[in-house]
Amino acid sequence: MLGRGMRRGYSRHAARISSAPTLPAIETGTAMVDGVSTFFRRVPGEGPPVVFVHGNPTHSEDWQPFLERLEGPALAFDLPGWGRSARPLPSQFDYSMNGLGHFVGRFLQRLAVDRYSLVVHDWGSVGLIPAQEEPEAIRRLVIVNAVPLLPGYRWHRTARVWRTRWLGELSNRLWSRWALDIGLRESRGDWSRHDPAFVDMIWDHFDRDARDAVLRLYRSADPDRLAAAGQRLGSITAPALVVWGGRDRYLPAHFGPAWADRLPNSELYELPRAGHWPWIDAPEAVDRVMRFLAPDEGIATP
């Protein structure tokens, strides 16, 4: 099931990031994966796609500034529980870190993607769980301020609330668009407020079921389990780019170099003044990612 056209609020915000020539329209559609209706965005084209995996609390629209720069092929989808994808009951779906990682692999199988470039942000790092199972399938890898599948990480304040029984449930009842708007300020490098379109992009799909999925994900990810999930990162020998905003208050700056150290064919691109979404605070990050992906056939150069 495919369609065209979507709300343009965040896209207009993204248009200020970089100018680009007219490119093919972004298709939208749904696919049934293990009984879960899964929403996706796709830039059509021939050959192995660039696959984007979003984090929390966003969804595939997070990648709009990148998708608008690609001639294709590219694919971004909403994880179950987030965005426009279905929210199956916890008895019917595993919202844990490993469960979501397994789902990413199943989604790619469902869409017949057997070789691809991978771009991940925040909890999009679950996409690296299946990638370690088949590292030869990865052509290029981009990690952008991603939850570390590495030793030594300790959860930030908001995550500790989500990981605490009853306290997390209480916090989920208190969310409002205003609270989200104010809370997201700490994700900016300079503590400023996000564009209202960005806040709306999140809030429009951050319903109670989505917030419950957040609790289950965070409670599955003790620090030792994070480290265990990344034990085979060294098997991914594809060229890798680690993009890291140095003023990320959720993920400390030293995890940028730590990611790069674990990947045998990597380079590190640091943005000292940028926050958790570095491409919002430092628009040049989009150009840097595009240049890195450009050697792949069918990717437009900036």
Residue owning tokens 């599948």: 149
Query: Would you state the pLDDT for residue 23?
Result: 62
In a domain, 277, yes or no: yes
* Residue 284, pLDDT above cutoff 60: yes
Query: Would you state the pLDDT for residue 25?
Result: 85
Question: Which pair of tokens denotes residue 72?
Answer: 């294709």
The answer to whether 289 and 243 are in contact (CB under 8 A) is: yes
CA 16 to each of CA 164, 281, 286, 291: distance values in angstroms, whole numbers, following the listed order:
39, 12, 12, 19
In a domain, 111, yes or no: yes
Q: What are phi and psi of 96, to 5 degrees?
A: -70, 170
Range of the structural domain that residue 289 is part of: 2-293
Q: How many structural domains comprise the chain?
A: 1
How big, in percent rounded to 5, are the helix, strand and coil portions of the chain?
A: 40, 20, 40
* Residue 296, pLDDT above cutoff 80: no
Q: How far apart (Å, rounded) are the C-alpha atoms in residues 296 and 117?
A: 9
Q: How far apart (Å, rounded) are the C-alpha atoms in residues 244 and 121?
A: 10
In a domain, 82, yes or no: yes
Q: How far apart (Å, rounded) are the C-alpha atoms in residues 300 and 302?
A: 6
**Bridge partners for 36 per DSSP:** 33
Q: What is the pLDDT of residues 16-50, one digit of tens each?
A: 333 445 566 899 999 999 999 999 999 999 999 99
Q: What is the pLDDT of residues 74-85, one digit of tens each?
A: 999 999 999 999
Q: How far apart (Å, rounded) are the C-alpha atoms in residues 233 and 27?
A: 32
User: What number is the average pLDDT over the span 253-274?
Assistant: 98
Which is higher by pLDDT, 295 or 123? 123
Q: What is the pLDDT of residues 183-236, one digit of tens each?
A: 999 999 999 999 999 999 999 999 999 999 999 999 999 999 999 999 999 999
CA 48 to chain centroid: 19
Task: Write the DSSP assignment of 228-282 as a string of letters.
Answer: HHTTTGGG--S-EEEEEETT-SSS-TTHHHHHHHHSTTEEEEEETT--SSHHHH-
Query: Would you state the pLDDT for residue 19?
Result: 40
Residue owning tokens 């972004």: 26
* Residue 1, pLDDT above cutoff 60: no
User: What number is the average pLDDT over the span 171-182?
Assistant: 95
CATH code of the domain containing 30 = 3.40.50.1820
Query: Would you state the pLDDT for residue 24?
Result: 66
Which positions ≥6 away from 57 have C-beta within 8 Å? 82, 180, 202, 206, 210, 214
DSSP 24: P
Would strands 116-122 and 2-4 be described as parallel, antiparallel, or unpaired?
unpaired
In a domain, 59, yes or no: yes
Q: How far apart (Å, rounded) are the C-alpha atoms in residues 68 and 11?
A: 8
In a domain, 300, yes or no: no
In a domain, 50, yes or no: yes
In a domain, 301, yes or no: no
In a domain, 302, yes or no: no
Which positions ≥6 away from 178 have C-beta within 8 Å? none
